[in-house]
Amino acid sequence: MKLVVGSWQLAVGRWQSTVGNIKKNILFLCDLCASVRKKNFVGLLSSLLCGTFAMSAQAESRFPQPQFDTGHVVPEAYHPSVTAVVSEGTDVALLFVALCVATWLVHRVRSRFWILAFSLLCLVWFGFVRQGCFCPIGAIQNVAVAAWQGGGLAWGIAAFFALPLLFALLFGRVFCSAVCPLGALQDLFIVRPLRVPRTVNAVLRLIPLIVLLFGVVYTLNGAGYLICRTDPFVGLFRRSAPLPLLLTGMAVLLLGMVIARPYCRYFCPYAVLLEVCSRLAWEPIKITKATCINCRLCVGVCPVEAVEIPREIPSASTRAGRFRLFVRLLLLAPVLVIALTCGGWLAGGTLLAPAHPVVKTYEAMVQYTPETEALYPAVEAAKKQKLTRELLEVQAREITQRFRVGSAVAGGILGLIIALRILGLSQLRRRAEHEANRTNCIACGRCYPACPKNVKTIQ
Amino acid sequence: MTGSKSPPTRRNLLSWLLRAGTGSVVAALVYRASGFHRSGRMVWQLDPRKCIQCGKCETACVLQPSAVKCTHGYAMCGYCKLCFGFFKPDAPRLDEAAENQICPTGAIARKFIEAPYFEYSIKEPLCTGCGLCVKSCANFGNGSLYLQVRHDRCKNCNTCRIAELCPAQAFVRVPEESPYLLKEKL
Ligand code: SF4
Ligand code: SF4
Ligand code: SF4
Ligand code: SF4
Ligand code: SF4
C-alpha cells in the first residue's frame, strides 16, 4: 500500500519538474528496444522506470524514506578516521635527527660506507614507510601558496621545507647525501656514470630553475601542484600506482645508471634552493681535511662531476679578453631578460593557463560536440554546478591573464639568473687544490676513500 | 671548522652576513606562510554534490585499487526493492545473481528487511570506486550511494592525483579531524 502511494506521489512530483536530458533518453530508448527484443520483462520494467526518471529532473531523493513496521533501525555507515603513520611532531623530529646524523657522518665519520648505510635507512623510513609524502621538494608549493595568502600552512610542512635549507646553510647538502629518499634511491642505481659535456650540463641545469619558477606560478594560480605531479618515484615508494607513473619512475632509475642522479641534477626544484644555501655553507664538504696533494684520484670517482680541479689565475691577456667578453655579456643581459619576459608572457597564456581546471572546463564547453565524447564529463559537471559558458568565459579570461603576468615575471627572473650565471663564468679565482664544488656536491662521500690522504689518516 | 678557526677577515664577515641573510629569508617565508596561528593537517575529500561519477576516481588514484570507495548514506536511501544502484537496467531477474548487478565486483550486499524493503550496504574491500552504482542511484534513485575518499587507505598525497584530473573539481581539502563530506549530512 505504502509503495503504491509512494510511487504515485513520486510520479506526480517528478513529472512536474521535467527537464529534457536527450543523451539519457536515447540511451533509455535503446535499452527499451533491447529489452523488448530479448523478451526481458524485468529489464523492460526497469527501463521504463529509468526512462521516467531520466526525463524528469536530475533531482535526487525520488523515493520516500520507509517507515519500518519491524522497528528496523537505519544504520550509520562507518567512516574510518585518518590513520597517520606517526604524528606531525614525530615526523619533524625524525627529520631533524636524520639531518643531524647525516651531518655527523659526512663531516666527522667521513665514511662512504656509513653514509650509504644511513641512506638506506632513510630510504626505508622516508621513502617506503612514510611513502615520500610530504617532502621538502613538494613543500615548496605549500609554502609558496601559504606565503602568498598569508597563512594557513601546517607547521610540520613548514619545518620540512626549512630544516634541510638551514642545514645546507651550515653544512652543505647533507640532506641530499642520505636523508632525501629520492636521492638515496637514485644513488643506489649509479653504476657507470658518464661525463656530461659542460655545455650540455649548463643547459640542462636550467631545467630545475624553470621547474621551480614556473611550478610556483602554476601553483599560485590554482592549477595544482606541478612539482608533485612530476615526482617520478612516488609510485615506487607506494609500490602501487597507475602504470605510466611506475614506468616513468623505472625509466628515470635506469637512466640513473649512466647519468648519476638524473632527477637531482636536472629536475629537482628544491636543489635550486639547496644550492643557494650550500654555496654559503659555513662548513662545506671537504674531500680531505689534510692538504691536497693534487693526485687527481678524486676526480674520477665523483658521480656528479663536482670535483673542481686546481686552476691558476689566467694571464693578463686572457683576463683582458675575458673582461671584454664580460662587458659584452653585460649588454646582452637586458636583452635576455626582456626576451624571456616576453617568452614567459606567451607561455603563460598558451602552455600553463590551459591546465587550470576552470580554463579546461571552459574550453571543453566551447569545443564540445557529441562527437568529442571525451570532453563530455567536464561539460556535464559544469552543467550540474550551473556554470554557464558566459560565467566561465569571464573567469577563464581572468585566470589566463594572471598566468601571463606570473609567467612573465618568472621569465624575467629566469633571464636574470641565466645572465648572472654567464657573468659568473668570467669571474675566476685561483684554486690551489682539488675541491668539492659547493653547489653541485651532494655529499655522497665517494671521494673520501679515494683520496690517499684520507686513507693515510685512517691507517 | 674553517669558519671558526680562520681570523675574522672581511671576506669571513661578508659570508656570515650572506648566510644570516639567506637564513632569515627562509625564516621569514616560513613565518609568513604559517601565519600567526598554528594550523593542523588537512586531508583530501571529494564533495559528493559536485561529483558526476566520471570514473576517474577508480583509475587516477596513486593507489590501485583506489582510496576512493562507495559509501552508503542509509538515511537517504529508499530501501527500494528495485534498487537502481544494485540492478543493471537489463537485469534478467531481480535477484542477487552476479549477472543482475551493476557492480562489476559484486561489492554491494542486499539484505531483506521487511516487505517491500531491502537494505544495501557496501562491502568495502571489494569496491573499486568505479562509481557505476553511484551514477545509477543518482540518476534514477535517491542518490544515497556516493563516493568518498576512505581515510584508512588514502595516503594524503600533497597533491591528490584524482583532484588534478577530476572534471568536476570536486576535491577539496578538509580538516583532519572531520575528514568526510557525508551527503546525508550536508
Ligand atoms: S637534489 Fe632534490 S631529489 Fe636529489 S637528493 Fe637533493 S632534494 Fe632530493
Ligand atoms: S662527496 Fe661531493 S665531491 Fe665527493 S664524490 Fe660525492 S658528490 Fe662528488
Ligand atoms: S573524479 Fe571527480 S567527478 Fe569523477 S568520480 Fe571522482 S569525484 Fe566524481
Ligand atoms: S559499482 Fe563501483 S563504486 Fe559501486 S560498489 Fe561496485 S565497485 Fe564500488
Ligand atoms: S590523496 Fe592520494 S591516495 Fe588519497 S585519494 Fe588522492 S591520489 Fe588517492
Task: Tell me the pLDDT band of A2, cut-offs 50, 70 and 90.
Answer: very low
Quote the pLDDT of residue A133. 79
Return the higher-pLDDT residue of B72 and A422. B72
Say whether pLDDT at B51 is over 90. Answer: yes
Task: Tell me the pLDDT band of A384, cut-offs 50, 70 and 90.
Answer: confident
Q: What residues line ligand 1, using a CB cutoff of 6 Å? A: A 137, 175-176, 180, 182-183, 263-264, 268, 270-271
Quote the pLDDT of residue A427. 67
Quote the pLDDT of residue A343. 94
The torsion angles phi and psi of A24, rounded to 5 degrees, stand at -65, -40
Highest mean pLDDT among A9-18, A342-351, A362-371, B5-14: A342-351
CA of A296 from ligand 1 middle (Å) equals 27
Task: Tell me the pLDDT band of A178, cut-offs 50, 70 and 90.
Answer: very high
Q: Cis omega before residue B65 (within 30°)?
A: yes
Q: Is A413 on the interface with B (CB under 8 A)?
A: no
A180-226 pLDDT per residue, tens:
999 999 999 999 899 999 889 999 999 999 999 999 999 999 888 99
Q: What residues 50-109 of chain B have any CB closer than 8 A to a CB of chain A?
A: 50, 52, 54, 56, 59-60, 62-64, 71-80, 82, 84, 87, 89-94
Do B17 and B65 reside in the same domain of the chain?
no
Nearest by CB to A53, from B27, B139, B176: name it.
B139
Quote the pLDDT of residue A417. 92
Quote the pLDDT of residue A263. 94
B74 in helix, strand or coil?
Answer: helix
Q: Which residues of A touch B156 (CB under 8 A)?
A: 82, 84, 133
From CA A287, how far away is CA B64, in angstroms rounded? 45
Long-range contact pairs involving B119-122 (C-beta distance under 8 Å, separation at least 24): B119/A72, B119/A75, B119/B74, B119/B77, B119/B79, B120/B72, B120/B77, B120/B79, B120/B83, B120/B85, B120/B86, B120/B145, B121/A75, B121/A77, B121/B72, B122/A77, B122/B69, B122/B70, B122/B71, B122/B72
Q: What residues 362-391 of chain A have any CB closer than 8 A to a CB of chain B?
A: 364, 377-378, 380-381, 384-385
Return the higher-pLDDT residue of B116 and A405. A405
The residue of B140, B156, B171 whose CB has the most chain A CBs within 10 angstroms, and thus the best one to mutate to test that interface, is: B140
**What are residue B69's DSSP bridge partners?**
B148
Q: Cis omega before residue A134 (within 30°)?
A: yes
Quote the pLDDT of residue A100. 96
Work out the percent of chain B whose per-residue pLDDT is above 70. Answer: 94
Q: Is A14 on the interface with B (CB under 8 A)?
A: no
Q: Which residue's C-alpha comes closest to atom 8 of ligand 2?
A: A302
Atom of ligand 4 nearest to the CA of B102: 1
Report the domain count for chain B.
2
Q: Which residues of B touch A225 (CB under 8 A)?
A: 158-159, 164
Task: Please give the biggest Cα pair distance in chain B.
Answer: 93
Return the higher-pLDDT residue of A134 and B163. B163
From CA B46, how far away is CA B170, in angstroms rounded? 5
What mean pLDDT comes out for the span A62-71?
A: 83
Say whether pLDDT at A21 is over 90. Answer: no
Are residues B117 and A66 in contact, defined by beta-carbon separation less than 8 angstroms? Answer: yes
Do B118 and B47 reside in the same domain of the chain?
yes
Q: Cis omega before residue B116 (within 30°)?
A: yes
B146-165 pLDDT per residue, tens:
999 999 989 888 889 899 88
How far is B41 from chain A, CA to nearest CA, in Å?
6
Domain range for B181? 42-185
Indicate yes or no: CB of B167 within 8 angstroms of CB of A361: yes
Say whether pLDDT at A98 is over 90. Answer: yes
Cell reading at A74: 537505519
Complex confidence, ipTM: 0.81
From CA A62, how far away is CA A53, in angstroms rounded? 9
Domain boundaries, chain A: 2-55, 89-291, 316-425
How far is B137 from chain A, CA to nearest CA, in Å?
8
How far is B90 from chain A, CA to nearest CA, in Å?
4
**What are residue B175's DSSP bridge partners?**
B42
Do B67 and B104 reside in the same domain of the chain?
yes
Quote the pLDDT of residue B32. 87
Do B16 and B55 reside in the same domain of the chain?
no
Quote the pLDDT of residue B131. 93
Work out the percent of chain B whose per-residue pLDDT is above 90. Answer: 48
Q: What's the whole-model pTM score?
A: 0.83
Nearest by CB to B90, from A40, A62, A385: name it.
A40
| CA–CA–CA angle B148, B149, B152 (5° rounding) | 125
Quote the pLDDT of residue B172. 92
Nearest by CB to A34, from B90, B142, B155: name it.
B90
Say whether pLDDT at A25 is over 70. Answer: no
Cell reading at A274: 639547496
Q: How many CB pairs under 8 A join A and B?
A: 246
B140 in helix, strand or coil?
Answer: helix
- Which of A55-69, A444-458, B140-154 has the weakest average pLDDT? A55-69
A231-276 pLDDT per residue, tens:
889 888 888 877 888 899 999 999 999 999 999 999 999 999 999 9
Do B59 and B134 reside in the same domain of the chain?
yes
Highest mean pLDDT among A149-163, A339-353, A369-383: A339-353
A277-318 pLDDT per residue, tens:
999 999 999 998 888 888 888 898 999 999 988 888 777 788
Query: Which residues make Cβ contacts (< 8 Å) with residue A124, sequence separation at least 6?
Result: none
